Amino acid sequence: MSDTTSNQMWGGRFAAGPDAIMEAINASIGFDKRLAAQDIAGSRAHAAMLAATGIVKASDAEAMREGLLTVLSEIEAGEFEFSAALEDIHMNVEARLKTLIGDAAGRLHTGRSRNDQVATDFRLWVRDQLDAGEEQLLALLRALLVQAEAGADWVMPGFTHLQTAQPVTWGHHMMAYVEMFGRDLSRLRDARARMNESPLGAAALAGTGFPIDREMTAEALGFDRPMANSLDAVSDRDFALEFLSVASISAMHLSRFAEELVIWSSAQFRFVTLSDRFSTGSSIMPQKKNPDAAELIRAKIGRIFGANVALMTVMKGLPLAYSKDMQEDKEQVFDAADNWLLSLAAMTGMVGDMSANRASLEAAASSGFSTATDLADWLVREAGLPFRDAHHVTGTLVALAEKKGCDLPDLSLSDMQGVHESITEGVFDVLGVHNSVASRTSYGGTAPAQVRAQIARWKERLG
């Protein structure tokens, strides 16, 4: 479409069309065409309201609504020709509508502005991504619960500083991620509830003198209510920032888990085997099976974090109400949403397909003096030592085991009594890794009974 046509849509304010550079920097159709479905949904709701309130004739409103469906079908079929000269998705849709239904299309914009229109479109789009994220998180949580239930009593080393600390169960480790992603789900739902208010009808910034019904359009679009302040309605992007915050925290959790899967699937650990569907080979080393999906998830967090920082930076210095800076609110959000949802799907696939190596987990749990804390606790409980003294005795026994090249359960009773005479045969009841995990019965502990109780709680919660 020519610049002349574009200027006609603007009215008589500008005598000449923008040059190529201005057109390039001003146009957003290259990315905001992703808002087409939301834009058309908002316009159809607005048209119905205009008729219901008597602002436009019912016949005109019906022509608009039907014409908008035609435009949507053309876009979905890939038959729509987008024009950079028309700047954005809103003007592209309206121009096409005019060719379809004539002058009635010009009445569609009554009582609204592109400012509240784009705020509505973007809010609807972000809400859709939150809904998709909820589905993906629920799928991941259920996959983790399957893993946790299968290995509720499989022992493995628990780590601090990536050093063997105390024995835990595979189920307990999986349930730690259930809790983490469960918080992501809670944050997501909270953000969705807060953002579910309609900007439509706020117009440019001050509302409108037309007798519009904002409650009607809010309800038609699935919002809980209209936004209460027209200035805030057109200038708010908190909903996008909250989405990016939710996605960033969730992506951080995905990255932590991905890091563990990279480590666990290595030849040095052999804790898990990832399926071929989520691994690749090497071009020159035939023995390699690379955890590429996990590594890519670990990397994608940079894009999601970056989007969060970028939008915060765009918004931080803007006076009320709308500024063109806010056109830069979408590309980062689009990219972050794509990569977060893809990462969730990939992690769900990996968790569903991966196999835990029970023998390797148990062998690792039984090494590295993982039951040292159990020994110290036994000395406090059975021998009556103050914990600091018990800690010192246990440290001496660890040093002795290191010198002998064995683990704590392999020391003889006489070896132990040589360090402290109060140690009895009963100490061996706590030194085995299975005994260790079974003893951790405090709420939230790693005892298999506790793990199964938490699995049952989450199954009931998820339904």
Active site (catalytic) residues: 161, 282
User: Distances in Å between the alpha carbon of 452 and those of 111, 141, 449?
Assistant: 58, 15, 5
User: Distances in Å between the alpha carbon of 257 and those of 155, 160, 176?
Assistant: 19, 15, 10
Element (H, E) at 272: strand 272-273
DSSP class of residue 153? Answer: T
Structure tokens at 269: 């650990």
Whole-number Å distance between alpha carbons of 393 and 385: 10
Helices (H), 196-330: 214-220, 230-235, 238-264, 292-315
At 412, phi and psi to the nearest 5? -80, 160
Q: Are strands 197-198 and 225-226 parallel, antiparallel or unpaired?
A: parallel
User: Distances in Å between the alpha carbon of 135 and those of 53, 128, 131, 140, 368?
Assistant: 38, 11, 7, 9, 40
CA-based angle 235:129:354, to the nearest 5?
A: 145
Count of beta carbons in the 10 Å neighbourhood of residue 463: 5
Whole-number Å distance between alpha carbons of 294 and 234: 40
Helix, strand, coil % in the chain, rounded to nearest 5: 70, 5, 25
Structure tokens at 111: 């009582």
